[in-house]
Copies of this chain bind each other. A is one copy, B any other.
Amino acid sequence: MTSADPVDQILLQWKVARPDLDTSPMAIIGRLSRVAADVTARQRDTFARFGLDPSGFDVLATLRRTPGERLTPHQLSASAMISSAATAQRLNRLQADGLIQRRPSADDGRSVQVELTPEGRDLVDQVLPAHLATEQSLLAVFTPAETQRLTRLLTKWLTATADRHDLP
């Protein structure tokens, strides 16, 4: 019988090279990293059909789902978990493509309101069904019961990491 996947082979190699180490955490984290990389690659293919990349779609989709469809760069940075500098540069690109616009904030002279243009709103509304179809196909391997189990486990994990960030 052969190993089921590349991570099993990696664990076997470590068993030989460093038998003193407990490499069992890699069984989960190694697979998580590889699956996440594949998911990102598939999403990239989908977005490319619409002239977008994951970072651009993330901005457009975050605006689209927000009540009022309006956020500051600071809020977008927090949502995407990237630096404010990266957000400013993403917005420069999307603005050059005519998909978003910046407006001075009425409340706070330091801040900016980012909004979708009509073109940006139309585009994200077109991309969304294709994006969800891609994600659906990635999950097609699971039964409904497995989907439920995986959701529960990942929710527990994500909640634990968020708590860890709150209490450093």
Task: Tell me the A residues contacting B by CB distance below 8 Å.
Answer: 4-7, 10, 13-14, 16-18, 21-23, 25-29, 31-40, 64-67, 81, 125, 128-129, 132, 135-136, 138-139, 141-142, 146-147, 149-151, 153-162
- Interface SS of A by simple majority: helix
CB-defined contacts of A36 to chain B, threshold 8 Å: 32-33, 36
Closest to A17 in B: B65
Q: Which of A6, A23, A34, A154 has the most C-beta atoms of chain B within 10 angstroms of its own C-beta?
A: A154
Residue from the list B7, B16, B151, B160 in contact with A158, Cβ < 8 A: B7
Q: What would 11 more interface pairs be, CB under 8 Å, given A28-B150, A141-B156?
A: A13-B65, A18-B125, A21-B132, A25-B132, A25-B135, A25-B139, A28-B139, A31-B151, A31-B154, A34-B81, A138-B161
Whether B141 lies near A4 (C-beta < 8 A) is no
